Amino acid sequence: MIGGPAVRAAAASWWSRAAVLWTGSPGWAQALLIWAASRAWGWAVFTTVGRQQGPGPWGDGALGYFAFTGIWDSDWYERIAREGYPAEVPRDGTGRAQENAWAFYPVFPLLVRGVTALTGTGWDVTASTVSLLAGAAAAVVVHRLFLRLAPPATALWALALVAFNPVAPVLQVPYAESLHLLLLAAALLLVADGRHLAAAPVVLVMCLTRPAGVPFAAALGITWLVRTVRRRRSGQLRRAAEAPDGLLALALFSCAAALAWPGIAWWVTGEPAAYTDTETAWRGEALLPVVPWFDAGVRYLGPVVGPAAPVLLVAAGVAVLGSGVVRRRLDLLLRTWLACYAVYLLLFLHPQSSTFRLLVPMFPLALPLAAVSESRAYRTACLLAGAVLQLVWVGWLWHWKQLPGGGDHPP
């Protein structure tokens, strides 16, 4: 083959220089390169699927990247950015709350509105850019969090698994997920460093970005309780008056922050249940803890296997959190966060197709997943599996395909 040896030599030289450059780069630069690669893949996924889009609520045919990423809940966020929130909860003739903006937290749309006012750019481009930048910052913070608990190579692989996870495309669309990931990771890192006062404003903004304040407050409270018991047993804590500390104060502050948005909705509309009534408008029934999981099990798996599905799911979750690799790689705070968030979803979530993206806050599980084996083949297989499943997620849920009864499964 003409030029074969020369081409191979040039390729080897290029690869060698790239490897040296990579190993010599600071951790934050490596994290950003991983994030950039993952978002380029996300662009390819959205562009490919968007070209297959047929007639739907957002157009009559194929959609370009920004038009395709700016559908679904992005419509609600754009409406909030333009119009704000209603002064009262819209209700039908029976008094049942109808779908409205109070279900969506304010930080992301108001942030995009501020950027739009400064730049003069449109919603789709601005909101997508804000999500991309927030995700890039989240990558750096998540990497730093993982570095506290694992060697650099494992921490980078874990970040890559977060960036290429099956629902990672949601981190580059006009949704609040990437901003919430940044704030959650920052709050966890600050708490892990013992910087409780610095964490307080981060927690407040986080609680006004996505509804995860309740499990976060619970995680802090349980972590404080366990640490206090351990201090007592070890003799480090001699008097009960010495137990309150910065972590407990932050846990109590987080409780108040978690109630801030429902409280604001109450204050504006004059209705104490404005937020909860709005949240349940999408499910068409009252808020019933746990029961929807059994209903969904019966609906999708039948009357025999269905009722057992939630029980098996809980058992699997307990097994994962109690596994050796999770206990070795994740500290008490992260394990408690995962447990509290899982319980929160079990209690209050109405399981449906959007459930997949609601698992993004469980990102710490990527670290033990990467640590199961140091085999490059294993880690690459996990990464490729996530990347391929992104095509499945976008093609199945983001792509609009009207169901026989009307509407479609939301992502």
> Strand (E) positions, 149-283?
none
Structure confidence at residue 17 as a pLDDT band (50, 70, 90) = low
pLDDT value at residue 242: 77
CA distances to 15, 139, 176, 262, 282 from 157, in Å? 20, 12, 25, 38, 37
Residue 80 CA to its chain's centroid (Å)? 21
Structure confidence at residue 16 as a pLDDT band (50, 70, 90) = low
pLDDT value at residue 23: 73
Domain coordinates in residue numbering, the chain = 27-398
pLDDT value at residue 46: 98
What's the DSSP call for residue 287? -
Contact 191, 333 (CB under 8 A): yes
Closest CA to 351 of 282, 256, 249: 282
pLDDT value at residue 240: 78
Query: What are the tens digits of pLDDT across the range 136-151?
Result: 999 999 999 999 999 9
DSSP class per residue in 221-259 = HHHHHHHHHHHHHHTS--SGGG---HHHHHHHHHHHHHT
On the question of pLDDT at 68 being above 90, the answer is yes
Q: Which residues share a beta bridge with 231?
A: none
110 vs 232, residue with greater confidence: 110
pLDDT value at residue 407: 84
pLDDT value at residue 284: 76
d(CA 8, CA 5): 5
Closest CA to 250 of 203, 180, 208, 213: 203
